[in-house]
Amino acid sequence: MRKFLAYAIPIILSLAVGMIGSTIQTSALAEWYPTLLKSPLTPPAIVFPIAWTILYILMGVSIGILVARGDMSVVRLWLLQLLVNFLWSVGFFALRSPLAGLITILILDVLVFAYIVYTYSISKGAAWLFVPYMIWILFASYLTGYIYLNNDTNINSATAATISKQTYSMTTKTTTYTMPPLPYNSDALEPVMSKETIDYHYGKHLKGYVDNLNRLIAGTPYEGLRLEEVVKQSDGALFNNAAQVLNHTLFFDALTADSGDIPSELKSAIERDFGSLEQFKSEFTAAATSLFGSGWVWLIEDKDGKLKIISTSNADCPMRKGLNPLLVLDVWEHAYYIDYRNRRGDFVKDWWSIVDWDKVANRATKDLRDARQD
């Protein structure tokens, strides 16, 4: 009985901490997490609860081996790493602070490494049971670090930048990027895109990128450039936000409630390069449903005037490579999650019915309008 409890208590305790942590995570996963720029190596969401559950059980068995032998010397270290693991969930998901998440998970790396080293001299089996956990949290440290470095989420630095921009504006011409106007009412695209989706996707996500862009660009050499030039020349958080503004501008502007026939010149070009319109749609749909993680699928015109389908990850934009985007589909989760939940394929299928083909065709011959207000 004692031996049974020696294993059962740590396993149950580990899983309990894991369950509380995952409850916190689920609440953030619904709205905040899908908006972040994540590493292309981020596994599908379903991998996380499965991996954690297995790891918590291994963790419980590991300490159980020692406790069953009557060796309590590592229990405190074990409980401490479990507490830090929990604090990582709180910091990252509940407080929505990638920095707090990064700091706690780095501390966790050290504690888990110490646990393995210390335990190895007592029971090699118990130490080895912790190795998958060590590998997983090192990977999680990388994912957290990527999110921290590629997302501008620190409220304090945001406030500081706003203040410095105000100071700066007193002596220089104020240049701001503005929201691209929506060429339809926010409920016009229902049921493919509900008013609620437009309110969040356009009203909150895109608004956030525009606000970040204005804040980040202040005082940099890019200030005053056309949006397209900022996208071509900048890097890091500034590039991410500028490109997201440009990509969303192209996306929202070419949607309509009255999707008519494809203008004949564009249709011929599609037939020339894809064989038929149906073939083009099926290739584009396949690219959109198979794109891993967050990104965009494009119909572009290359320098020779040939049409091609390409996919880009996160905020990346084909204009950076000198390609002319004609049609674009946003396949970030935030584009369809409210209306379609995880059914990206259904969203893509329905999205064809709201494409504004006149706008798409016009892009093949006209310069892109940018989001700057002169």
Per CB under 5 A, residues contacting Mn ion are: 330, 332, 335
Nearer to Mn ion, 53 or 289 (CB): 289
Nearer to Mn ion, 246 or 266 (CB): 246
Nearer to Mn ion, 248 or 363 (CB): 248
Work out how close the CB of 312 gets to Mn ion at its nearest, in angstroms, rounded to a whole number.
13
Nearer to Mn ion, 115 or 296 (CB): 296
Q: Which residue bears the tokens 């905020």?
A: 315
The count of residues in the chain is: 374
Task: Decide: helix, strand or coil at residue 326.
Answer: strand
Work out how close the CB of 72 gets to Mn ion at its nearest, in angstroms, rounded to a whole number.
52
> Rounded CA gap, 136 and 126, in Å?
17
Nearer to Mn ion, 74 or 329 (CB): 329
> What torsion do the CA atoms of 304, 225, 218, 318 make, to the nearest 10 degrees?
-10
Q: Is 249 exposed, middle or buried (0-12, 13-18, 19+ CB in 10 A)?
A: buried
Work out how close the CB of 205 gets to Mn ion at its nearest, in angstroms, rounded to a whole number.
5
Q: How far is CA 273 from the centre of its chain?
A: 32
Work out how close the CB of 362 gets to Mn ion at its nearest, in angstroms, rounded to a whole number.
22
Residue 324 parent element (H or E): strand 324-330
Nearer to Mn ion, 284 or 332 (CB): 332
Work out how close the CB of 336 gets to Mn ion at its nearest, in angstroms, rounded to a whole number.
10
CB 299, CB 355: distance < 8 Å? no
> Rounded CA gap, 344 and 333, in Å?
8
Work out how close the CB of 248 gets to Mn ion at its nearest, in angstroms, rounded to a whole number.
6
Work out how close the CB of 247 gets to Mn ion at its nearest, in angstroms, rounded to a whole number.
8
> Rounded CA gap, 13 and 60, in Å?
8
HSE at residue 254, side-chain half, CA atoms within 13 A, is 27
Nearer to Mn ion, 59 or 331 (CB): 331
Cα–Cα distance list, 44 to 41, 55, 179, 188, 291 (Å): 9, 17, 32, 32, 12
Q: Write the DSSP string, 188-229.
A: TTTTTS-HHHHHHIIIIIIHHHHHHHHHHHTTSTTTTS-HHH
Nearer to Mn ion, 14 or 256 (CB): 256
> What are 128's two structure tokens?
């080895």
Residue nearest to Mn ion (CB): 330
Work out how close the CB of 35 gets to Mn ion at its nearest, in angstroms, rounded to a whole number.
9
